[in-house]
Structure 1
Amino acid sequence: MSWKSTLPGAVVGVLVAAAITVPHAASAAWNNPYPDSEAEANAIYSSFSERPKHLDPARSYSADEYTFIGQIYEPPLQYHFLKRPYQLVPLTVRDMPSVTYYDAEGNTLPKDSPIEKIAFSEYEFRIESGIRYQPHPALAKSESGDYIYHDLSRGDLAGIHSLSGFEHTGTRELTAADYVYQIKRLADPRRHSPIAGVMADY
């Protein structure tokens, strides 16, 4: 008798508890490490399988590292985020590069030339004006135009443990020579670039 009389109340209690907890459980994983206040934030969280070893694009060859490198350096071109099939679009260049084809004697070839006649090709990139580097102590200059921190001794660095320890910062505009320098670094044997073997063919 007592079992039958208390069963409806127990069922109602379970249903009420489920109604209260299920919406909250559905909105977030039980082991979500982020606070509820950030649930509606316009942010994406991710993780990496191992700690980055190199943030130098000439040495890096890991997807985990590129997560950071992609936020630091901007290449001339990038893939469109939404278009499929993938399509290259300008990033730090004004427009897509123009290409000129040459034969073995160095003569210019038409755009529709057969591939077997093309000995080499030349791409022209035009860098967008107005792109500047993030302010950094390495780019700080004095009133005379000399770099302030390019000839420091160990004594000068005493007490400086981070970039914020330097009093002055500076910036400058991005140039095509910056990309040329970086391409040359890929072939520098001291950098141990993972694509140095591929670059050796060019």
Structure 2
Amino acid sequence: MALVSLETLPTNLLEAVNLCLSYMREAPIDDLALINTSFAAETAYRTVIQQTRALQRKDFVFNAGDRSYTPVLDVASGEYRILADQFCTKVVGDRFAIRDSSQPVPMIMSFDDDDDLGPRQFIVNARDMAGKPRDWKSANPVKVHATFTMPFDFLPEAAKAVVALTAAALCGEHSGEGIEASPYHANELQNAVIDLADFDLDTMPVNFYTTLDNRR
């Protein structure tokens, strides 16, 4: 099988797309505005975006954290809801509470803004940090644990490497030539996975002997 020998790690979305294109034996593009000019460029871009989202379905320190929100009255429904931050994709009330299937499941609903600047994201049926369901009948602040899907360019370097190298390997695997990862990229992917875990631990160390409620 053909082998990609390009030894580089992407630092932005354009470079990640071009790495995928190199694994497809396609020419690089100079601007992301050109992703719709060929099937290969569109496939490379879509693969990077998919892997960016897939990685961030997990809670990392860089894309998740506790947030305090004040519910706002949604005039259309007459209900109080939380207006989520941009890129927020998931919320839970308490990471450590034992789930009860009879309790409300947190979910996000999107509504179009009147000024058409983008959708507003409302968190509904979230639980507070004590694991109690929110009644949404007042505008008192509530704390939730939120997970965000950040754009590729805002990811830590280790996360960029994991996303870009995984996406490139997938593009090569599904190309007509069955291109496999170069030894350099295969090794860098393993290192990036380890670095990403280390990044999480360095940012928020784990104390395996603690009995405090805020343990990881």
TM-score range, shorter chain: under 0.3
Asked which structure has the greater CA Rg, the reply is 1
The TM-score, its normalising length taken from structure 2, stands at: 0.19
Higher RCO (Cα < 8 Å, 6 or more apart): 2
Q: Answer 1 or 2: which has greater strand percent.
A: 2
